[in-house]
């Protein structure tokens, strides 16, 4: 099969060694089948273009562009392509690695509201997505259609960025930073690559007909994080027109207002809001910059010790010296103080609330006892971790926090 613009005919693939087993799914222009390679004794995926599109030359070129881009992006988080050609029926097809597992969308749906560990795992998934996209940007390619359905999470933790059908090559900052990296080679012009995507996750510049660059993918990763923690896309209207209008105006509810209470790690909303900025100049300027900020946030979230407490268990005791502060992830606890030999309830605390911090900031004994009212999950922050965070702040901000803690302590003592 000869395609205009391609300097060579597509070879006819020898499919005699391949046994078709099942239909894995359908893409925009074809079906993906699971087939078994009888010579290598492995299962592979084969995508075959639908016959109704095979006579449409621009669509055939777009089909081949996706394969050429994917095949040249040799990265652990991008599915490898094995062969390209035409089948016995004359239809363009290619084979690639099978990816068993769940889409990111399916994985998010399985999270329980209180599954904080599962949500923190999402940050690790996002780091690997950033790695794949940073690699693509260094090759001069942007994805442009990042959404949970286009990310696969394998049965053993593998992460793959899928569906490069809307990808296009363009000048990127990452390419400028790594001039020795070989750019993608395409046999078809960019004029045939339409720029559109999925409205619920669409970067504002695409929704308004602007030109994309790697900051468009930064927006896409921000939208993935938003969905991972909230279970919904940033833009969701009552119909497609309203969803498009939200995307054009970049209007979305704040992440911590739509996510389960206490599930958004400190700093994540700020990161997401920056990545989802309407103006590309206000976003992270490269995928590497976004990855660095996300990794810092991830280390803080994963590095903190988690503690499960049973109903009735004391977490801190009035009068003792404190070495840890606590963030409630799930459950309910009560602060109590001894008055006239009897415990007096001060307040009930739930997910997202913090306690024990003043004893550390002020270097004073605990002013109350905290008891779990039900089985609860806490994040523990040591004195050393808190001091390290304060040391990393602008000095006047750290001083302001310490002064505020001292004043709150004075008010509490006076009461």
- Of 145, 176, 323, 340, which is the active-site residue? 145
Q: Measured between alpha carbons, how far is residue 300 from residues 36, 228, 255, 360 in Å?
A: 44, 18, 19, 18
d(CA 329, CA 354): 10
pLDDT for residue 188 = 63
CB 284 within 8 A of CB 250: no
Identify the burial level of 319 via C-beta atoms within 10 angstroms of its C-beta, where 0-12 means exposed, 13-18 middle and 19 or more buried: exposed
Record the tokens describing residue 21, joined without a space. Answer: 């087993």
pLDDT for residue 406 = 64
pLDDT for residue 17 = 83
Considering only CA atoms, which of 129, 193, 130 is closest in space to residue 167? 193
Q: pLDDT tens per residue, the chain (415 residues)?
A: 666 566 667 777 777 788 888 888 877 688 888 999 888 889 999 998 998 888 888 888 888 888 888 999 999 999 999 988 888 778 888 899 988 889 999 999 988 765 666 777 888 899 999 999 999 999 989 999 999 999 999 888 899 999 888 888 877 766 666 666 677 777 666 554 455 679 999 999 999 988 899 999 999 999 999 999 999 999 999 999 999 999 999 999 999 899 887 778 768 889 999 999 999 999 999 999 999 999 887 765 555 677 899 999 999 999 998 888 888 878 899 999 988 888 899 999 988 788 988 877 777 888 899 999 999 988 888 777 676 666 655 666 556 666 665 666 665 565 5
CB 82 within 8 A of CB 55: no
DSSP string, 336-367: EEEETTEEEEEEEE-TT-EESHHHHHTT-B-S
d(CA 238, CA 343): 52
Record the tokens describing residue 96, joined without a space. Answer: 């690639």
d(CA 30, CA 27): 5
CB 393 within 8 A of CB 365: no
Angle at 270 between CA 268 and CA 276, to 5 degrees: 100
d(CA 325, CA 405): 13
CB 69 within 8 A of CB 137: no
Q: Measured between alpha carbons, how far is residue 222 from residues 43, 150, 346, 392 in Å?
A: 34, 14, 40, 25
pLDDT for residue 195 = 54
Record the tokens describing residue 307, joined without a space. Answer: 């503690």
d(CA 102, CA 107): 6
Beta bridge partners of residue 101, listed in sequence order: 154
CB 337 within 8 A of CB 371: no
Answer yes or no: 115 catalytic: no
pLDDT for residue 189 = 61
d(CA 323, CA 385): 10
pTM higher than the cut 0.85: no
DSSP 137: H
């Amino acid at each position: 099969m000869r395609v205009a613009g391609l300097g060579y005919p597509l070879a006819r693939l020898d499919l005699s060694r391949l046994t078709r087993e099942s239909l894995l799914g359908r893409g925009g222009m074809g079906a993906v089948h699971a087939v078994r390679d009888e010579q290598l004794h492995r299962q592979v995926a084969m995508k075959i273009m639908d016959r109704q599109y095979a006579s449409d030359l621009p669509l055939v070129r777009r089909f081949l562009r996706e394969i050429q881009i994917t095949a040249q992006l040799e990265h652990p988080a991008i599915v490898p392509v094995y062969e390209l050609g035409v089948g016995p029926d004359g239809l363009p097809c290619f084979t690639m690695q099978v990816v068993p597992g769940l889409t990111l969308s399916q994985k998010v749906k399985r999270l329980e509201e209180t599954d904080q560990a599962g949500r923190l795992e999402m940050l690790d998934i996002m780091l690997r997505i950033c790695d794949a996209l940073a690699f693509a940007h260094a090759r001069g390619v942007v994805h442009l259609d990042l959404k949970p359905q286009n990310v696969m999470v394998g049965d053993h933790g593998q992460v793959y960025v899928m569906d490069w059908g809307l990808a296009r090559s363009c000048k990127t900052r990452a390419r400028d930073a790594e001039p020795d990296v070989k750019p993608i080679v395409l046999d078809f012009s960019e004029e045939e690559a339409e720029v559109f995507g999925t409205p619920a996750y669409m970067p504002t510049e695409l929704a308004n007909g602007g030109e994309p660059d790697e900051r468009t993918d930064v927006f896409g990763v921000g939208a993935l994080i938003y969905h991972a923690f909230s279970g919904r896309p940033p833009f969701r209207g009552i119909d497609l027109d309203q969803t498009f209008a939200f995307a054009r105006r970049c209007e979305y509810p704040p992440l911590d207002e739509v996510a389960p209470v206490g599930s958004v790690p400190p700093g994540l909303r700020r990161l997401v809001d920056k990545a989802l900025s309407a103006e590309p100049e206000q976003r992270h300027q490269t995928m590497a910059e976004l990855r660095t900020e996300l990794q810092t946030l991830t280390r803080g979230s994963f590095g903190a010790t988690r503690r499960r407490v049973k109903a009735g268990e004391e977490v801190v005791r009035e009068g003792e010296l404190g070495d840890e502060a606590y963030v409630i992830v799930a459950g309910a606890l009560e602060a109590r103080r001894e008055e006239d030999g009897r415990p007096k309830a001060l307040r009930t605390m739930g997910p997202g609330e913090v306690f024990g911090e003043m004893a550390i900031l002020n270097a004073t004994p605990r002013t109350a006892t905290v008891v779990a009212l039900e089985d609860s999950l806490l994040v523990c922050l040591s004195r050393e971790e808190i001091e390290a965070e304060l040391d990393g702040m602008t000095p006047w901000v750290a001083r302001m926090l310490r002064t505020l803690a001292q004043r709150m302590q004075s008010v509490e003592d006076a009461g």
